[in-house]
Amino acid sequence: MEWLVWIGAGVSVLGLLGIGLSVVQVVRARRAGLDDDALRARLNKVLPLNLGALFLSVIGLMMVVLGVMLA
């Protein structure tokens, strides 16, 4: 089940890249000096990316654990 570990690691890396991208977008939004409503609107656009990336990361880590347990 070594292949499951490597695929899971790849999925986790994709999730971590997505989380990093969402952090960059939030930092840019905060530095833009927007008013409260505009900042909330921009953060609401980043939220689905953040949740999707977190989901990918968790699924990848589950695949790694499952691959290690089955090996």
12-64 pLDDT, tens digit per residue, is 999 999 999 999 999 999 999 889 999 999 999 999 999 999 999 999 999 99
Cα–Cα distance measured from residue 13 to residue 62, given in angstroms and rounded to the nearest whole number: 13
H-helix or E-strand containing 32?
A: none
The pLDDT of residue 69: 96
Both ends of the chain: CA-CA distance in Å? 5
Cα–Cα distance measured from residue 57 to residue 33, given in angstroms and rounded to the nearest whole number: 31
The pLDDT of residue 1: 86
pTM of the model: 0.86
Neighbouring C-beta atoms of residue 67, cutoff 10 Å: 18
Binned at pLDDT 50, 70 and 90, residue 71 comes out as confident
Token pair for 7? 């695929």
